[in-house]
Amino acid sequence: MTSLTLSRLQEAWSWRELDVARCRALTPTLPEPDPASSYGQPASLVPHPDAEERAAVLVLTGYTAFREARPAEALEAAGEALALLGLARASLWYSRALNVRSCAQLELAEFGLATVTLREQLRASRDNGDVETEGAALHDLGVMHTRLDPDHAEGYLLASRSIFERTANTVGQAFTAWSLGELRERQGRAPQAMDLYGTALQLATRCGHRAMQVLVLSRLGERALQAGNAEQGERWLRDALARQSQDPARPLWITVPPLVHLLIHTGRLAEAREVLEMQLQGATHAGMRAVQSELHALLCDVHEALGAPLEALAHLRRHVTLYRQENADEQARKVRALEVLHRTELAEREAHTHRQRSAELQAALNELEALHLQLEKASATDELTGVHNRHHLMTAGVRLLEGQPQPANVAVAILDIDHFKRVNDTYGHDGGDRVLRAFAQFLKRGLRPTDLLARFGGEEFVVLFPGTLLDEAHALLDALRHSLTHFTVDGLPVNLTVSFTAGVVNCPDGQLLPALHRADQLLYRGKRAGRGVVERESLARRPG
């Protein structure tokens, strides 16, 4: 690698957070490797003359893909970079490739794999003197542990802050201040959290990290509104919105919901509509389907308040369509990324076998295999609520239904917590998480051991009732609905009321996806009818 190329790639890396376009412009296009060359083989066996240069380009490409929510591409690029470098841990690009991999794994909520990668990232960065990547690994470990083990998380975050302060890394200091603020909120120390958010804003402004500025201002605005300081909250939210519009390359929409709710609450409906329509235009132009879905939901609320039911219904329909499309695409993206993870694991095991055929290595591979089996088991559980997750439903649930005698006595239900956005707006995301955990455990206690409960996404849950007639499943759900009058959530007011709406259908053919679709239609019928009901499929509409 020439010193000129090395300098250019290093400069591109330095701009990856503050100016993605500049980073991309400085990153050269990667030429296709010569098929007759050794490229693609383990680097420790057959070194490639341009291995480090190619690896650096792949790392930069992978980090950009991660920031643009393309985790599968990020994992592929990081895996190729690590394969090129082999055992060349002295290269800074080795630890940076691990950084890209761990970021993508965290994005996919693969916390077990991310922990393994972050530990390796720490070792590699300490060995090669990559202090910045060492600080990033400590920071990400702290963020990952914030929900599960706050005391442990604090140690990681403070160590990360110390590194970034010692090296005058302002971007790293801003991220660490933000994450420490979130940790303080989790610990119930709101005043310290607000001070840390203020520090994060100062640091982000000093270094020009506009995305962090928007994030902090939005959080400060939300907290001010929750504290009853509407005037200050609105000032912060409008400041965030103004800064957000200056960075079309990294659009954030988190400012919009609290600002719109404030405008609705204060009767400024026309202004709320204007803000939403402007944001919708930008989100549509950028192809941000998830954001469009949420904006249509907010526009539905605004038009309903304006007394325009037809416009409200049109936005509601568009919200539902986009929401379903985005969920399907998100699932496809995750499946592809998990396939990349699996291929990468296999390739790395093969490379290790080539490099070191020893009893010690074999023992390590056996240990990794055991860890992989443990992670597979953990992948069936939703981290937040402790019940089964969507992946388990779509695999084990499908097998459960297909194994029933035909025609089967099986019922399928979808449940959705009513007015969950209102819970988040009132008690914050921590309060929303508490409600989700308590509601999931409430369902688990009330259902039978043979029933399969899974969190489907957000505030939606799915229940499979094997060996159960539709009338019986409807009665079980209705009993659960009535027993919610005694539902309480630790840490939230005792007068908090929670209800759910559900749709339940018969599934005699054992086909889960069509049954879920019919149950979802009934769920939305229940929502339109006023919520807090269990809608069951009529006899005339049952399949078969």
Q: How far apart are CA 68 and CA 38, in angstroms?
A: 31
Q: Residue 388 gets which letter from DSSP?
A: B
Instruction: State the DSSP string of 232-254.
Output: HHHHHHHHHHHHHTT-TTS---T
Q: How far apart are CA 237 and CA 507, in angstroms?
A: 48
Location of structure tokens 């098929």 = 35
Q: How far apart are CA 53 and CA 439, in angstroms?
A: 52
Backbone torsion region of residue 116, taken as left when φ is above 0, otherwise alpha when ψ lies between -120 and 50, otherwise beta: alpha
Closest C-alpha to 238, from 275, 210, 265? 275
Is residue 142 within 8 Å of 157, Cβ to Cβ? yes
Location of structure tokens 């609520």 = 385
Q: SS3 for 381?
A: strand
The one-letter amino acid code at 369 reads E
- Rounded to 10 degrees, the C-alpha dihedral 428/429/432/433 comes to -140
Hey, what are 443's tokens? 């369902």
- Containing H/E element for 462? strand 460-466
Most distant CA pair in the chain, distance: 75
Annotated active-site residue 459? The verdict is: yes
Query: Which residues sit opposite 505 in a β-bridge?
Result: 412
Separation in Å, CA 32 to CA 35, 50, 189, 340, 511: 9, 12, 53, 20, 45
Is residue 15 within 8 Å of 7, Cβ to Cβ? no
Q: How far apart are CA 10 and CA 7, in angstroms?
A: 5
Hey, what are 126's tokens? 């300490």
Q: How far apart are CA 52 and CA 49, in angstroms?
A: 8
Cα angle 57-63-96, degrees, rounded to a multiple of 5: 70
- Catalytic residue among 459, 460, 535, 537, which? 459
Location of structure tokens 């630890």 = 95
Hey, what are 235's tokens? 């000032």
Q: How far apart are CA 358 and CA 251, in angstroms?
A: 51
Q: How far apart are CA 161 and CA 174, in angstroms?
A: 9
Q: Which residues are catalytic?
A: 459
